[in-house]
Amino acid sequence: MKNPPSLDSLITALRVLPGVGPKSAQRMAYHLMQRDTAGADRLARAIDHARSHLKHCARCNTFSESELCGVCADPQRRQDLLCIVEMPADEMMIEQTRSYDGLYFVLMGRVSPLDGLTARDLPLEQLARRALDGTVSEVVLATNFTAEGEATAHVLHTLLKDRGLTLTRIARGLPVGGELEYVDPGTLAQALYERRGIKD
Amino acid sequence: MKNPPSLDSLITALRVLPGVGPKSAQRMAYHLMQRDTAGADRLARAIDHARSHLKHCARCNTFSESELCGVCADPQRRQDLLCIVEMPADEMMIEQTRSYDGLYFVLMGRVSPLDGLTARDLPLEQLARRALDGTVSEVVLATNFTAEGEATAHVLHTLLKDRGLTLTRIARGLPVGGELEYVDPGTLAQALYERRGIKD
């Protein structure tokens, strides 16, 4: 006894989603075909629509439906500051802080040998062209403080050093509201190591 | 700063999948649009194909691409035994044991008040028609031994009792290879309560 072929194909196709194994794919397929057929149709249409409308911003490489994304097209942003992040979600988090008014470059990835992603999978040529186009004076490396993010920052540093740019990295340390007693030793060590002078 | 509308629609559409919250939906959308666009296209096509080809077996209610599923169409199966399960995956598990040669009825659901599923969401009329069509003499209730499965078995028992059918329930007890020391008290109590005579 086997599943009908179209159900099996759907289960297989759902496994392209990250974090979805055989059991969840089967559960998802049952759900789509039994409980929410309208949702299944909406999902297929949303994929098709995104596939035909989504491209990448020519300047910062984030997802965009137009040649330039909203941030890159905004003349109010500081043109001399370029912040490099891994994913669009990271850019959105920084925008939510309302403390940065420069521009971005979105890598759409990271160096992650375990996932088979190396520096060659990053748009480094496009980034170099953008960072060295004459308008940028400071590049802020805002990749994650994970092993992958640090490796990515190292690749970016190698790429952009000695090119007349100021290279900075966002700060590590205790979170706002953080207590020494409860912070992990690595973060506390880094906070001590990167201690800064107190302004009067 | 916001996501492009087509990306937002895709993230929303992915949330119809069971167990997918806003963060995983975003991760899935990035993955489909950045890392695996071919997989995205395959997924959309698989949904469309399954939606247009999958229907329910007229006899046992499982997913099928033809009027009758393979099991129901097989003349070698015992026609007087009907096993009621919650989902097609349960039928597949029973088939894998190669210890049952009767027919099935697949509820495609269960009674689950927490998910808003009541007895009215079950195909009880179709089941009653099938179980009382004159060919069936024994009905095996093989819903899960969860609270929802037990509630479903209770509904089925109420529906089918006093109709001249033998009603049975699959056995509870220690698993094969199970040790008393490590089994949970509820299962052990049930194994004692449902102890059976030893045949010489």
Q: Which residues of chain A does CATH 1.10.8.420 include? A: 5-53
B67 φ/ψ sector (left φ>0, alpha ψ -120 to 50, else beta): alpha
| pLDDT-derived band at A194, boundaries 50, 70, 90 | confident
> Which chain B residues contact residue A108 at CB under 8 A?
30, 34
Q: In Å, how far is B175's CA from the nearest CA of chain A? A: 22
pLDDT of residue B1: 64
A33–B10 CB contact, under 8 Å: no
B91 with B170: CB under 8 angstroms? no
Instruction: List pLDDT tens digits, range B108-123.
Output: 999 998 888 899 999 9
Is B136 within 8 Å of B82 (Cβ atoms)? Answer: yes
The fraction of chain A above a pLDDT of 70, given in percent, is 100
Residues of chain B with CATH 3.40.1360.10: 56-169
Give the one of B47, B95, B108 whose C-beta lies nearest to A1's C-beta.
B95
**Higher pLDDT, residue A54 or A116:** A54
> Looking at the predicted structure, is the pLDDT value of residue A111 above 90?
yes
Q: Which fold has domain A56-169?
A: Dna Topoisomerase Vi A Subunit; Chain: A, domain 2 (3.40.1360)
Q: Does residue A150 register a pLDDT over 90?
A: yes
Q: What is the pLDDT of residues B15-50, one digit of tens each?
A: 999 999 999 999 999 999 999 999 999 999 999 999
What would the DSSP string read from start to end of A89-149?
HHHHHHHHHT---SEEEE-SS--BGGGTB-GGGS-HHHHHHHHTSSS--EEEE---SSHHH
Asked if B49 lies within 8 A of A91 by C-beta distance, the reply is no
Q: Of A106, A112, A67, which Cα lies nearest the Cα of A86?
A: A106
User: Closest partner residue to A51 among B19, B41, B65, by Cβ?
Assistant: B41
Are B3 and A63 a contacting pair at CB < 8 A?
A: yes
Q: Is the pLDDT of residue A172 over 90?
A: no
Whether B92 sits inside 8 A of A42 (CB atoms) is no
- Residue A56 predicted with pLDDT over 80: yes
Give the pLDDT of residue B65.
Answer: 96
Question: Would an 8 Å CB–CB cutoff place A8 in contact with chain B?
Answer: no
Is A192 touching B (CB cutoff 8 A)?
Answer: no
- CA atoms of B105 and A114, how far apart (whole Å): 45
Q: At what angle do helices B88-97 and A22-30 cross, to 10 degrees?
A: 130
Work out the pLDDT band at A57, boundaries 50, 70, 90: very high
The answer to whether residues B111 and B152 touch, using CB atoms and an 8 Å cutoff, is: yes
- The C-alpha angle A23, A28, A33, rounded to 5 degrees, equals 130
Rounded to whole angstroms, the Cα distance separating A14 from B55 reads 19
b/e map B31-59, b = 16+ CB within 10 Å: bbbbbeeebbbbbbbbbbbbbebbebbeb
Q: What is the pLDDT of residue A1?
A: 63
Low-confidence ranges of chain B (pLDDT < 50): none
Q: Residue A17 and residue B28: Cβ atoms within 8 Å?
A: yes
Contact A15, A22 (CB under 8 A): yes
Q: Is A65 on the interface with B (CB under 8 A)?
A: yes
Higher pLDDT: A176 or B65? It is B65
- Please name the residue of chain B whose CA is at the shortest distance from the CA of residue A46: B10
CB contact under 8 A, A34 and B109: yes
CATH class for domain A5-53? mainly alpha
